[in-house]
A = this chain, B = another copy of it.
Amino acid sequence: MSSSNFVKNAAGRLVPTVINGENHVPYQGIGKYIPQGKKHAPTIQSIANFPQDGNKQVASLKEALIKSGLKDGMTISTHHHFRNGDLIANQIFDVAHELGIKNLRWFPSASFPCHEPVLKYLEDGTISHIEGSMNGILGKYASQGKMQGTAILRSHGGRYQAVQDGEVKIDIAVIGASSSDCFGNANGVNGVSTSGLLGFALADSQYAEKVIVVTDNFVQFPCIPWQIQGNYVDFVVVMDKIGIPEKIVSGTTEITKSPDRLYLAELTAKFCDVTGIIKDGFSFQSGAGGTSLAVSDYFAKIMREKGIKARFARGGSNKYLVDMLEEGLIEYILDGQTFDLDGVRSMRDNANHVWTSPFTSYNYHGKGNFAQLVDVVILGATEVDVNFNANVVTHSDGYMLHGIGGWQNCLFSKTVILPIPLFRDRIPVVREEVTTLCGPGELIDVIITERGIAINPLRTDLIEKAQNSGLPLKTIQELKEEAEAICGKPALPKLGEKVIAAIKWVDGTVIDCVRQVL
């Protein structure tokens, strides 16, 4: 990548304009880039070309891939519904390798440590590069500059946007489902390998040229509910086992026991209380980490005390949220993914536990999305800087070990709160400048640390409401200085020139890039 291809974007970050041989638009500011084109237009099909009896089952994944026309340079998509218990993605690339296919673009909604076996296919050129979250070892591999192509990381909404807009044209989508019928109607709520829902594959089903559903629970037509509609599906493959159930549910589904984290959660809930965010009919989204779960729990206590309820909560759902729904503290859960089996059960059985998708919740190139309508979101970050900018993909040593998830998309809710420790392993989390910019500071309202709360100066309303509350308010600069007083000025990561990943903003523009760690 020659340096002539770099420009300074609206966030002041030097970003490439050509990535993997294709042009990309630099970030222009929030709401500034208005797309001009038409959505991606898939090929018109005819049922004359499909089995008359609607039975699309083929004998194996290999047969389905061959019938889908698998060839060099194609884009293959998969989905992280099975998280670290996925057994499908590796098999796709085993087949590709066996067939001598090269130079594939792997376009997962996220990849996990269970996908370590694909490293050998990145080495031998079966896969040229991964576009999607690389949690853990794959991210480390990319950070070391070993991946042939450049990674592109997108939010959940950004992934939908990229597919919808034709920025990423998927040749073959492979969708794992805990239930499917012969026609390809599929869901994630029935069967053994339940993932709750299959929303991350929605864009792929709508826009990919070929769609393969893989299941280990083959049911008679009709498979109800159909979260994936068979009318988009080309082939159905039945396997013995598509996922490891105990690894499908997230690792972090228990409330934190750390006194520090509990304190952060309590501070967050208090902040929402004194500023009037928690009120009858409000809405909130909190993640699946131990601190986030604790926040939900504190919210529940406050709501019980006040005798109020929330109109809706956004999932990732888990047993704590489900308890609140069942107790009547929440009217609806609008859910993007279920993080435990209570979430799966509730989604399956409770009509007020509603499926959403990256299209409804997060797509920035739609006529609005749900993220805008949420009163408060509680998010994490690996780093925050004195301009309230935040990072979620790299650690301060430069290694890219996480994906963006729905994080960027959630920044559009009415109030964004980041409860974070002031430092981790004696490395300050609040810094002069984030290593990688994922979210612009103007969208981030409150930083809550164990040593004080910093409110974004743009939110004069929140400052006014919080100032006489007894909460430990500080400036972000003060928080940074406290961190440095304890830990010392943090060392800068040792980075090379090579760009190993581009970070997309929700509108498809490049907000930052990640460089090789030396």
Interfacial residues, chain A to chain B (CB-CB below 8 A): 31-54, 56, 164-165, 183-184, 211, 220-222, 224-226, 229-234, 281, 311-312, 332, 334, 351-352, 354, 359-360, 363-370, 372-373, 412, 507
Contact A232 B183 (CB under 8 A): no
Which of chain B's residues has its CB closest to A210's CB? Answer: B367
Q: A369-B47, A369-B231 are in contact. Are A224 and B351 (CB under 8 A)?
A: yes
Question: What CA separation (Å) do A103 and B35 show in the bound complex?
Answer: 31
Q: B residues within 8 A CB of A366?
A: 45, 47, 231-232
Question: What CA separation (Å) do A428 and B97 show in the bound complex?
Answer: 67
Which of B54, B367, B370 makes the CB contact (< 8 A) with A50?
B367
28 contacts between A and B (CB under 8 A): A32-B48, A33-B46, A34-B46, A37-B43, A38-B41, A39-B43, A44-B164, A44-B365, A45-B365, A46-B365, A46-B507, A47-B366, A47-B368, A47-B412, A50-B368, A54-B368, A56-B367, A56-B368, A183-B370, A211-B367, A222-B354, A224-B351, A226-B360, A230-B360, A231-B360, A231-B366, A232-B367, A234-B367
Q: B residues within 8 A CB of A332?
A: 222, 224
Q: A368-B56, A372-B52, A373-B183 are in contact. Are A220 and B311 (CB under 8 A)?
A: yes
Question: What CA separation (Å) do A184 and B412 show in the bound complex?
Answer: 19
Count identical subunits in the complex.
2
Contact B53 A373 (CB under 8 A): yes
Q: B residues within 8 A CB of A38?
A: 41-44
Contact A34 B47 (CB under 8 A): no
Q: A44-B35, A165-B44 are in contact. Are A368 and B220 (CB under 8 A)?
A: no
Contact B164 A231 (CB under 8 A): no
Q: B residues within 8 A CB of A220?
A: 281, 311
10 extra A-B contacts, CB within 8 A, seeds A35-B45, A54-B373, A211-B367: A33-B46, A35-B44, A35-B46, A36-B44, A46-B507, A47-B364, A222-B370, A224-B352, A231-B360, A231-B368
Closest Cβ of chain B to A275, distance in Å, is: 18
Q: B residues within 8 A CB of A368?
A: 47, 50-51, 54, 56, 183-184, 230-231
Which of B46, B354, B359, B370 makes the CB contact (< 8 A) with A225?
B354
Question: What CA separation (Å) do A478 and B71 show in the bound complex?
Answer: 58
Contact B37 A363 (CB under 8 A): no
Q: B residues within 8 A CB of A229?
A: 359-360
Question: What CA separation (Å) do A50 and B45 show in the bound complex?
Answer: 33
Which of chain B's residues has its CB closest to A183's CB? Answer: B368
Q: A49-B34, A366-B231, A367-B233 are in contact. Are A354 and B54 (CB under 8 A)?
A: no
Q: A224-B354, A281-B220, A373-B54 are in contact. Are A367 and B231 (CB under 8 A)?
A: yes
Q: B residues within 8 A CB of A56?
A: 367-368
Q: B residues within 8 A CB of A225?
A: 351, 354
Closest Cβ of chain B to A212, distance in Å, is: 12
Which 8 pairs, one residue from A and one from B, show the smallest C-beta to C-beta distance? A31-B48, A38-B41, A41-B41, A35-B44, A231-B366, A50-B368, A54-B373, A39-B41
Which of chain B's residues has its CB closest to A31's CB? Answer: B48
Which of chain B's residues has its CB closest to A235's CB? Answer: B367
Closest Cβ of chain B to A109, distance in Å, is: 19
Question: What CA separation (Å) do A165 and B36 show in the bound complex?
Answer: 21
Contact A222 B312 (CB under 8 A): yes
Q: B residues within 8 A CB of A49?
A: 34
Q: B residues within 8 A CB of A372?
A: 47, 52-54
Which of chain B's residues has its CB closest to A221's CB? Answer: B373
Closest Cβ of chain B to A384, distance in Å, is: 24
Which of B39, B41, B222, B370 makes the CB contact (< 8 A) with A334?
B222
Question: What CA separation (Å) do A231 and B206 show in the bound complex?
Answer: 15
Closest Cβ of chain B to A95, distance in Å, is: 22
Q: B residues within 8 A CB of A233?
A: 367
Closest Cβ of chain B to A172, distance in Å, is: 14
Question: What CA separation (Å) do A222 and B333 show in the bound complex?
Answer: 10
Q: B residues within 8 A CB of A54?
A: 368, 370, 372-373
Closest Cβ of chain B to A463, distance in Å, is: 21
Question: What CA separation (Å) do A43 and B351 show in the bound complex?
Answer: 33
Contact B44 A37 (CB under 8 A): yes
Q: B residues within 8 A CB of A364?
A: 46-47
Q: A40-B41, A368-B54 are in contact. Are A359 and B48 (CB under 8 A)?
A: no
Closest Cβ of chain B to A442, distance in Å, is: 13
Question: What CA separation (Å) do A230 and B366 show in the bound complex?
Answer: 9
Most B C-beta atoms less than 10 A away, residue of A35, A54, A281: A54
Contact B37 A39 (CB under 8 A): no
Closest Cβ of chain B to A24, distance in Å, is: 16
Contact A351 B351 (CB under 8 A): yes
Question: What CA separation (Å) do A221 and B360 show in the bound complex?
Answer: 13
Q: B residues within 8 A CB of A359?
A: 229, 231
Which of chain B's residues has its CB closest to A56's CB? Answer: B368
